[in-house]
Structure 1
Amino acid sequence: MKNDINYRHLYYFWVVAKEGGITRAAERLGLAVQTVSSQLTLLEQALGKTLFSQQGRRLVLTEAGRLALTYADQIFLLGEQLQEALNEADSGRTRLTVGISDSLPKLSAFRMLEAAMQVERPVRLVCYEDQFEALLADLALHKLDVVLTDREVRAGATLKVFSHQLFESEMVVVGVPALAQRFGADAHDGDTFPANLNGAPFLLPTRNNALRGKIDEWFVQHHVRPDVVGEFEDNALLNTFGRRGLGLFFAPAALAGEVAEQFGAVLIGKVPSVREQFYMISNDRKIKHPAVEAMLAAVHKGALAAS
C-alpha cells in the first residue's frame, strides 16, 4: 500500500457513501458517473482494500469501508468547519456548536447558554438535540464544541471526553392550578406533603433518564403511590403535557419562576432530597472556546447556582 492518500479520491468516496450510490454522488459533484467510479477504484487500489460491495443495485460499505468512513467524516467535517470558521471570522462572530441531550430541561439549557451569549465577541449559537450517546459520538468527532446534559460520562468510558458539572438543583413538584387544588396538601384532610400525592396523576421521565431512579426511590421512601399517566424521553414534551394539566411533574427548584411563567405550573411541594445535576461535556480537559469559558466563569461566580 502506498503511503500517500489522494484526498480528492477520498472525498469522492465520502460523497458516494453519504449519497448512497455513485449516480447520486456524481450529480452532487457535477461529474460523470464513470469519472467517480474510476476514481473510487483508484482509491481502493491505493489502499489495498475493497470499500464497497454490490448488493443487488445497491452499494454497501464493507468493514474496511465503514472504518474509512469514520476517518473521512472527521477529515471533511473538520474541513467544512474550517471554512465556516473563516467565514465567521470575517463576520466578527464566534460559532458555538452545542449538543443538547433530549432529557435536559430546555429552561436549564437556556440558563446554561445565557452566559455564553454575554461575551464581548458576538456568538453565533448552533444547537442540536439528540440522545446522550449520539451526542458524545459527535463530540468525539469534533462535530460539536460541547454537550449539555443531565448526566456525567461514566468512568472508564472509551471516548476521550470530560465532564464539567455546571450546577445542581433540588427538585419541586408542580402542576397547573386545577391539579394543585385537587392534590395540594390543603385539599386533603390532615394529609401533608408528600402523603397528599397518593393517587395523583404524574408525568415522569422514562427509566433511562438519570433523574427517574431518584424519583422512584423518593416515592418508595415516602410511601407515595402515584398514578403514572405518562413517561417521556423528551423533557419538552413532558412539560407540554404538564402545561395541559394532564399530570403533576418534577422541575428544578432553580427554575421554579420560569416554570410558573412558561407552563402555568404552581408549587405543590419541595423535594430537597432529589437533586438534578447539570453537566457540560467537552472533548478536552482544558476549555479554550471563549463562550464556553464564559459559562464556566458564571459557574464560579455562582450565577448558575441553585438551591
Structure 2
Amino acid sequence: MNYHHLRYFREVAVEGHLGRAAERLNVSQSALSIQIKQLEERMGHAFFDRVGRSLVLTEAGRIALDHAERIFGAGEELVATLAQRGAGIAPLRIGALSTLSRNFQLQFLRPLLTAGETRIVLKSGNTRTLLAELTELSLDVVLTTQVPQSDAPLPFAAQRIAEQPVRLHGKADLLAYDTLPDLLTQAPLILPTESVIRTGFDSLLARLGVTPNIVADVDDMAMVRLLAREGAGVAVAPTVVLADEVAGGLVATAPFDLDIMEPFFAVTLPRKFPHPGLAGLLDAQ
C-alpha cells in the first residue's frame, strides 16, 4: 500500500470534496482522483459515494479512514518520540523484581507521581525476564537488588539508588527476648527467599552458631509483610517493607542490629534515545 495514496485519501475524506482536498495538497483534481482510484483498486473497495457535489464515505471508506488515522497518529508519535518532545512521548516503562518491596517502588516513583507529567507502565517479574525485556527495549529501566552478571552479553549499567537495613519486625510479644540468639532460636521466623537478604542472614547464623526457628520461606515481600502484620511470625526484612506498620504501631522492630543491608539498583542500557523522564527520576533518588 502506498503511504501517499493513504494520505490523499485521508484529506479527501476529511474535506468531503475533491477540489478542496486538491487545493490543500497542492495537486490537481485529476491527479488526486487518480491516486484515490488506485488506492480503491488496491483495496478492492470503493471508499466514496458521490452525493451532489460532495463525497461521502462508504462503509469500507469509514473503516479505511479509521485505520488511516491510527497509521498517521503512530507516525506522528514516532517523530515526537525520537525528538523527545510533546504528548507523543511513550510512557516510562519500569520493570521491578517481583520480590521487591512495594513501599520502595512507591518511594522510587514518587517524583514522577508528584509531577504528574509522565505516564508510567509497571511490570514485575524475575531478573532474567526483566533484563531480557530491557535488552529488547521493551523496558526503560529495571529495579533490582543485584548487579547483573559481568559476563552478560550487553553492557548493563547498574546505578545504586538506595539501600535499606534489614531488621527483625513483628508483634511486640514475639520480640520479647533479651538476646538476638534467643530470638532467632525461639521466635517463629518469616524469611524471604530473595538471595541478598538470605545470604546475609545465613552468614549471621553461621557467626552466631545458632539454628533458627523458621516457619515460612516466602518469595514475595508483600506476603512477608502481611504475615508479620497477622502475627504469624517475625519477619526478616528491610525496614522500608514494614515502615507503615511500624509507624502505625501494628508491629515493632527488634533492637538488634543484624548488620545486613539490602541494596537497590536501577539497571539500564546505554541508548541513543533514552526516555526523557528517566534521567531526572534517577537523579532524584
TM-score, normalising length: structure 1: 0.60
Give the partner amino acid of 1:154: Q
Q: For 1:283 and 1:260, how far apart are their aligned partners in 2? A: 37
SS of residue matched to 1:280 = strand
Paired position in structure 2 for 1:50: none
Q: 2:176 aligns with which of 180, 184, 195?
A: 184
- 1:214 paired to 2:200: yes
Q: 1:182 to 1:212 in 2, by over 3 A?
A: closer
Q: 2:182 aligns with which of 191, 195, 199?
A: 195
User: Are 1:194 and 1:269, in contact at CA under 8 Å, matched by a contact in 2?
Assistant: no
Paired position in structure 2 for 1:291: 277
SS of residue matched to 1:148 = strand
Q: For 2:225 and 2:80, how far apart are their aligned partners in 1? A: 35
How much has 1:294 moved relative to structure 2?
A: 2.5
Paired position in structure 2 for 1:276: 262
Give the partner amino acid of 2:196: A
Q: 1:138 to 1:273 in 2, by over 3 A?
A: same
Paired position in structure 2 for 1:95: 91
How much has 1:133 moved relative to structure 2?
A: 0.8
SS of residue matched to 1:97 = strand
Give the partner amino acid of 1:95: P
- Count of aligned residue pairs for this structure pair: 211
Give the partner amino acid of 2:159: H
Paired position in structure 1 for 2:152: 157
How much has 1:116 moved relative to structure 2?
A: 3.3
Pair member with larger Rg: 2
Q: 1:128 to 1:265 in 2, by over 3 A?
A: same
Q: 1:249 aligns with which of 235, 238, 247?
A: 235
Give the partner amino acid of 2:183: N
Paired position in structure 2 for 1:123: 118
Q: 1:264 to 1:93 in 2, by over 3 A?
A: farther
Q: 1:197 to 1:280 in 2, by over 3 A?
A: same
How much has 1:111 moved relative to structure 2?
A: 1.3
Paired position in structure 1 for 2:109: 113
How much has 1:250 moved relative to structure 2?
A: 2.1
SS of residue matched to 1:126 = strand
Paired position in structure 2 for 1:132: 127
Q: For 2:248 and 2:264, how far apart are their aligned partners in 1? A: 21
Give the partner amino acid of 2:182: A
Q: For 1:212 and 1:286, how far apart are their aligned partners in 2? A: 38
How much has 1:222 moved relative to structure 2?
A: 2.2
Give the partner amino acid of 2:234: L
1:107-154 deviation line (CA, Å, top 9, x unaligned): 1111112123344x7011110010111000000000001001111111
Paired position in structure 2 for 1:172: 167
How much has 1:223 moved relative to structure 2?
A: 3.1
User: Are 2:229 and 2:245, in contact at CA under 8 Å, matched by a contact in 1?
Assistant: no
For structure 1, the 5+ residue unaligned runs are: 1-77, 186-190, 300-307
TM-score, normalising length: structure 2: 0.64
Q: 1:132 to 1:262 in 2, by over 3 A?
A: farther
User: Are 2:221 and 2:241, in contact at CA under 8 Å, matched by a contact in 1?
Assistant: no
How much has 1:215 moved relative to structure 2?
A: 1.0
For structure 2, the 5+ residue unaligned runs are: 1-73
How much has 1:276 moved relative to structure 2?
A: 0.4
Give the partner amino acid of 1:296: L
User: Are 1:93 and 1:122, in contact at CA under 8 Å, matched by a contact in 2?
Assistant: no
User: Are 2:156 and 2:267, in contact at CA under 8 Å, matched by a contact in 1?
Assistant: yes
Q: For 1:217 and 1:84, how far apart are their aligned partners in 2? A: 52
Q: 1:99 to 1:84 in 2, by over 3 A?
A: farther
SS of residue matched to 1:213 = helix
How much has 1:98 moved relative to structure 2?
A: 0.4
Q: For 1:213 and 1:221, how far apart are their aligned partners in 2? A: 13
Give the partner amino acid of 1:203: I
Q: For 1:166 and 1:287, how far apart are their aligned partners in 2? A: 22
